[in-house]
Chains A and B, each alone.
Chain A
């Protein structure tokens, strides 16, 4: 049970904050950032090796660094941060106590030990099997055990989140339905439970197999179930990052959803359809029928894509409507021009939204078309795509949220605020550029996870065109730019925590309260909800997006139609 001394009142938001929850949020976020540093450094080494002029690492270290980069960024950084988000959107936003903080610490240490163990196996060179560890490539048992312990810890975190929702309901700390952001967190949590359970289904037998306790595992079955974990874990990210987008819209602009019904249904579509995404990785494989591939790869007729496309309108639309209520009603885009672009909380969020849609979204929809998949499968197009989702989407959104959380939770001013301002742009442009040039090189056939595209060690001779070498060199430059952005982010985060200027406990009123006043003053200039166009600027943005998607989609069909006959 809790008592009043377990809570403090946040001077910024007026929220009642459960101190044990706050300590856990901080711990999970800090460890997340540490692993972003480790994984990011590995990524930089990989990028510098793939730059033809530098070709930094020898082959064995390249594959080692690539394995570590995948595991530390895709799993460790992101899931630690997501656990922090889940605790935040439950205990803090619902103003209740976190369920079983002691167990939450157990979960935290399980995840930490698991991550350390998996990293140890990789760094001693005994687990150079890539993050996907397709059997029968075999890693040290510690690699699988580390991931399993990490997953168990994360699973406990998910159930603590759910238990906290029950407490909030029971103690009536909110009325009616959950707020939209916590609802998005709930969807992320349910997907996470499915995902982690799937991971256990495949990683536990693989761990036993790595110790010769059980016999062979079917290589295709492994790919099917592993991707139920590997792909679905990216769907946790999508849900969490969109919840963060809505949260930042509310924190910076006082935005509320255009329609609660529409935004929540879009989240529900994720819940119903996203798990089918495992099929995206098996489209150029043996063993499954066309019907299975078509239903799964399209998320049952593009239902999850529909969810994302809805958010693509409603996230900026909610911000636009809030800005218009404040009187920024001139033309289509005054609301966007006069947005606080120098505030990294906003710039990070909006760059994340735009880049995720244009780079990650359009390419994801196209590459997962059953037939088109064979012109990009396992080319460097694929890493290009997921840097357009996980790097510029999820990671950038989490960076933006961090800049809001740091002063509020740690009660300190941002350390080097200029670096914070630059970081979102540098990281967004760097990773966005890397994504574009990797995708371009992939369209020209460059293999992913490949140390030497000049094939110097092969008996035969083959080389890609000069264009490809240029593209990979440019991608490397963008990787450097992105790395500077990530480094600024880490410096600001660590610097703020260790030596940021202490903030008084009586801070000025928040922007969301100003927006209340603004809304009542200017409210009449905007059409009432449900009547007329509420967000014409956002509508134009999504229509531009649609045109881009349609053109890109058909260009790929055209490309496919020129290759050899395959049937």
Chain B
């Protein structure tokens, strides 16, 4: 039987020359990999979309208390049994989901920046802003702080896109962005 990929290679296989095809392709692929690495670093410093943010540990009870305080202070209305809160620009919005609802409807101004505190009071949930399509994970025990800056006005919906139990598909929230 002649040599195939199923037979042991010649003794000196490590010293056999590498073909031109392989050298050219490996070079292209390697340079592309380096480029993609630096593209990520570049966007971290220069881009407007970076979801690393800040994170702290927090108990669900402590988070729920902060959420209560925020609602008391900034509630401006109610829709679908959910408080609508208008936190001033740069303020802290506590957003702790639980089975099977989102806690508040934030009312934001376009072009202004808000500190969203994302968390869960029970199991993992998803925070998917539609139709913008920004998707983040809500993890119990963590206060995940991201500064969000809406660039368009209208009513946006929040979909839970992490399976959280049989009522998962009933979870729907809202964010209002005005001029």
Chain A residues close to B by CB (< 8 Å): 14, 59-60, 63, 93, 128-130, 134, 136-137, 174-181, 218-220, 223, 246-247, 249-251, 254-262, 283-290, 293-294, 297-298, 301-303, 305-306, 309-310, 313-314, 317-318, 365, 369-371, 373-379, 443-445, 447-452, 455, 457-460, 462, 464-465, 512-513, 515-516, 519, 529-536, 538-539, 542, 546, 549-550, 553, 557, 560-561, 563-567
Contacts and interface: CB of A to CB of B under 8 A. Distances in A.
A462 to B, nearest CB: 4
Nearest to A184: B5
21 contacts: A137-B164, A174-B8, A175-B8, A181-B6, A220-B141, A285-B137, A306-B29, A306-B33, A317-B21, A317-B22, A370-B44, A375-B134, A449-B161, A449-B162, A531-B20, A532-B20, A534-B20, A565-B48, A565-B49, A567-B48, A567-B53
Q: Which 4 A-B pairs have the closest CB atoms?
A: A302-B33, A530-B17, A565-B149, A286-B144
By CB atoms of chain B within 10 A, which of A260, A458, A534 has the most? Answer: A458
B151 A250 contact: no
Contacts of B11: 176
Contacts of B170: 455, 457-458
B157 interface: yes
Given A136-B140, A375-B133, A460-B173, 9 more contacts: A130-B163, A176-B9, A287-B55, A287-B144, A450-B168, A457-B167, A542-B25, A563-B151, A567-B147
Given A302-B36, A371-B49, A246 B5 contact: yes
A458 B123 contact: no
Nearest to A245: B5
A93 B6 contact: yes
Contact of A255 (B5, B80, B136, B173): B5
B54 to A, nearest CB: 8
A374 B135 contact: yes
B139 A561 contact: no
A294 B50 CA distance: 12
A284 B135 contact: yes
A217 to B, nearest CB: 10
Contacts of B147: 565-567
Contacts of A515: 2
Nearest to A465: B131
By CB atoms of chain A within 10 A, which of B18, B21, B39, B128 has the most? Answer: B21
Contacts of A247: 5-6
Contacts of A377: 135-137, 161
A445 B128 contact: yes
Contact of B49 (A294, A457, A560): A560
A371 B21 contact: no
Interface in B1-46: 1-11, 13-14, 16-22, 24-26, 28-30, 32-34, 36-37, 39-41, 43-44
Given A261-B13, A512-B1, A539-B21, A219 B124 contact: yes
By CB atoms of chain A within 10 A, which of B28, B29, B39, B48 has the most? Answer: B29
B123 A379 contact: no
A273 B138 CA distance: 28
A259 B124 CA distance: 48
Contacts of B18: 259, 261-262, 530
Contacts of B16: 259-261, 529-530
A516 B9 contact: no
A15 to B, nearest CB: 9
By CB atoms of chain B within 10 A, which of A59, A219, A305, A318 has the most? Answer: A219
B70 interface: no
A566 B146 contact: yes
Given A219-B142, A566-B51, A250 B4 contact: yes
Contacts of B136: 284-285, 374, 377
Contacts of A379: 128, 133, 135, 161
B169 interface: yes
Contacts of B75: none
A482 B120 CA distance: 38
B165 interface: yes
A263 to B, nearest CB: 8
Contacts of A260: 9, 13-14, 16
Nearest to A309: B29
A176 B21 contact: no
A514 B165 CA distance: 59
A269 to B, nearest CB: 11
Contact of B143 (A63, A258, A286, A460): A286
A177 B37 contact: no
A14 B170 CA distance: 62
B124 A137 contact: yes
Contacts of B26: 262, 306, 310
A212 B42 CA distance: 47
A255 B5 CA distance: 6
B71 interface: no
Contacts of A294: 37, 40-41, 44
B33 to A, nearest CB: 3
A471 to B, nearest CB: 14
